[in-house]
Amino acid sequence: MITGTARFVSRTAALAYYRPYNEPGTNAAEVTRKEQDGEISYEKPTLKSRERLIVREGRYHIETVPLDTTAVCKPFSTGKRGKHRIRIEGDSVSVWDAVAGHYTTCHVLSARSVRRIIKQAEKDEADRHSHSSRHLARRIKKD
């Protein structure tokens, strides 16, 4: 998933981006107003885990790398509670729908369940990275 931000690499990039949206001759004044009101800035965004920065047409975008995992839950009203394939992108949770053959956000998971699933998946991911780092350190130490 790629999300655009209100951050630009330079004022020139912001002027170019907003030019088609403004009346001729008002673009610089409008960009100045947006700067003063804090609507746009020229700082790089802070990234969270599983995010990377992309620049398109002088504007910063954030790409969220999906995390595939499994979780015990009851995602569909007609199904049973059990282990299901989950894809996490940012704050969004999709569940594998075997009937449709793809991940879907059309599920009945509560906001609380979604938060629990994301928290557990991030913990598991951190544990996997920690384990592989320790394993690598032991191999280097043996050599």
3-state SS string over 50-115?
Answer: CEEEEEECCEEEEEECCEEEEEEECCCCCCCCEEEEEEEECCEEEEEECCCCEEECCCCCCHHHHH
pLDDT the model gives residue 15:
94
Say what the pTM is: 0.60
Three-state secondary structure call for residue 41 = strand
Residue 6 CB contacts under 8 Å (≥ 6 apart), including other chains: 39, 40, 41
Mean pLDDT confidence for 64-82: 91
Of the candidate ranges 24-28, 51-55, 139-143, the one whose mean pLDDT is the lowest: 139-143
R_g of the chain, CA atoms, integer Å: 22
104 vs 84: CA distance, rounded Å:
12
The predicted pLDDT at position 62 comes to: 95
79 or 61: which leads in pLDDT: 61
Residue 98's nearest CA partner among 116, 114, 120, 83 is 83
CA geometry: angle 18, 23, 29, nearest 5 deg: 65
Conformation bin of residue 3: beta by default, left when phi > 0, alpha when psi is -120 to 50: beta
Chain center to CA of 102 = 19
Question: Is 97's pLDDT higher than 80?
Answer: yes
